[in-house]
């Protein structure tokens, strides 16, 4: 009976201590407290004296009877009840795993915080710079607010922004200001041609063809032919001729033309 009273008194003291702790704010977000009892085992030791008689030699070489004391240690397994407080967290809070004495200090968010956000209150995330929303799912448009500080243009990116410059300007080391770059050097003017002459643009293929025709005409004038050579002007020249093959290129089509070449 006395043991039961001691146990009840201990439970009462534990409840009083828990209430004081909750009221003082050391364990926040705890809505109710209960007790959980569990049995633990431990070894108990008991030393028991043992008296052992024995004979010894006394004064005068006489035999005397005496005893000596030894101790025998006895151990046994004992059990006792241990009561522990059990916390019931308020809605939206939970206990830290493995650390129940800290109370219910971890907020619970039903939807996971995104983009580096942290759950600080029930269903409420603390978002890093550049993100907003209940779960940090919305990008903040820093360019729309006009507080970006860019000297020319602002480009919004996910979770941040960056400054850009117009053509002819370069972004400086501060990442916000723009400075004009060196103007490109103008191309030198074309040399003037003969007075009254126009120099239209000639495609490369036509120019090459003209060069080949001019070379053939030069060959025809350098040799002394025996037969008739139809030159550029259409006049007949006497001499013998062999046939050579030249080529013309007009746009994307290639044509083959035979030229009369004086033989040796």
pLDDT of residue 18 exceeding 70: no
- pLDDT for 261 equals 45
Mean pLDDT of 21-36: 66
pLDDT digits (tens, 9 = 90+) for 71-90: 888 888 989 888 887 778 89
pTM above 0.75, yes or no: no
pLDDT digits (tens, 9 = 90+) for 32-74: 778 888 898 988 888 888 888 888 888 878 888 888 888 888 8
pLDDT of residue 17 exceeding 70: no
Q: Between the CA of residue 197 and those of 188, 192, 235, 259, what are the distances in Å?
A: 21, 10, 29, 32
pLDDT of residue 11 exceeding 60: no
- The two most distant CA atoms of the chain are separated, in Å, by 175
- pLDDT for 9 equals 55
- pLDDT for 3 equals 54
Instruction: With H, G, I as helix, E, B as strand and everything else as coil, classify residue 188.
Output: coil
Q: Contacts by 133-137 with C-beta closer than 8 Å and gap 24+?
A: 135/109, 135/111
Residues in the chain: 264
The two three-digit tokens of residue 210, written as one number: 């003209």
- Where does the pLDDT of residue 147 fall: very low under 50, low under 70, confident under 90, or very high at 90 and above? confident
- pLDDT for 34 equals 81
Average pLDDT taken over every residue of the chain: 72
- For each of the domains in the chain, give its residue range(s) and CATH number, in order of start: 27-89 (no CATH), 143-178 (2.10.25)
Q: Between the CA of residue 185 and those of 166, 168, 169, 190, 192, what are the distances in Å?
A: 19, 13, 16, 15, 21
152 against 145, higher pLDDT: 152
Q: At 40, which helix (H) or strand (E)? A: strand 30-58
Q: Which residues contact 175 (CB under 8 A, 6 or more apart)?
A: 162, 163
Q: Between the CA of residue 237 and those of 216, 228, 257, 258, what are the distances in Å?
A: 15, 4, 20, 18
- Where does the pLDDT of residue 183 fall: very low under 50, low under 70, confident under 90, or very high at 90 and above? low
pLDDT digits (tens, 9 = 90+) for 211-241: 777 777 765 555 544 444 444 444 444 444 4
- Where does the pLDDT of residue 180 fall: very low under 50, low under 70, confident under 90, or very high at 90 and above? very high
- pLDDT for 258 equals 45
The answer to whether residues 221 and 235 touch, using CB atoms and an 8 Å cutoff, is no
φ, ψ for residue 78, nearest 5 deg:
-115, 160
- pLDDT for 229 equals 43
- Where does the pLDDT of residue 93 fall: very low under 50, low under 70, confident under 90, or very high at 90 and above? very high
Mean pLDDT of 179-186: 70
The answer to whether residues 156 and 163 touch, using CB atoms and an 8 Å cutoff, is no
Pairing of the two strands 131-132 and 138-139: antiparallel
pLDDT of residue 2 exceeding 60: no
Q: Pick from 2, 73, 72, 81: which is nearest to 36 by CA?
A: 81
d(CA 84, CA 30) in angstroms, rounded, equals 15
117 exposure class (CB count in 10 Å sphere: 0-12, 13-18, 19+) = buried
The two three-digit tokens of residue 259, written as one number: 């030229």
| Number of neighbouring beta carbons within 10 Å of residue 188 | 6
248 exposure class (CB count in 10 Å sphere: 0-12, 13-18, 19+) = middle
């Amino acid at each position: 009976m006395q043991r039961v009273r001691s146990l009840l008194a201990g439970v009462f003291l534990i409840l009083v201590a828990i209430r004081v702790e909750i009221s003082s704010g050391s364990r926040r977000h705890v809505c109710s407290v209960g007790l959980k009892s569990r049995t633990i085992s431990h070894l108990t030791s008991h030393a028991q004296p043992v008296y052992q008689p024995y004979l010894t030699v006394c004064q005068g070489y006489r035999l005397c009877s005496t005893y000596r004391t030894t101790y025998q240690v006895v151990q046994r397994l004992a059990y006792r009840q241990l009561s522990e407080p059990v916390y019931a967290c308020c809605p939206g809070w939970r206990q830290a795993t493995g650390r129940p004495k800290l109370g219910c200090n971890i907020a619970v968010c039903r939807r996971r915080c995104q983009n580096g956000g942290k759950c600080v209150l029930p269903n409420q995330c603390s978002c890093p710079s550049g993100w907003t929303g209940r779960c940090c799912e919305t990008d903040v448009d820093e360019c729309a607010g006009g507080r970006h500080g860019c000297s020319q243009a602002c480009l919004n990116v996910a979770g941040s922004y960056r400054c850009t410059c117009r053509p002819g300007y370069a972004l400086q080391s501060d990442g916000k200001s723009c400075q004009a770059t060196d103007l490109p050097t103008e191309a030198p003017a074309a040399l003037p041609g003969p007075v009254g002459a126009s120099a239209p643009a000639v495609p490369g293929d036509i120019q090459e063809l003209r060069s080949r025709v001019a070379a053939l005409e030069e060959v025809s004038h350098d040799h002394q032919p025996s037969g008739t050579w139809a030159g550029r002007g259409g006049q007949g020249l006497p001499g013998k001729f062999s046939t050579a093959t030249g080529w013309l290129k007009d746009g994307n089509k290639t044509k083959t033309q035979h030229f009369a070449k004086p033989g040796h």
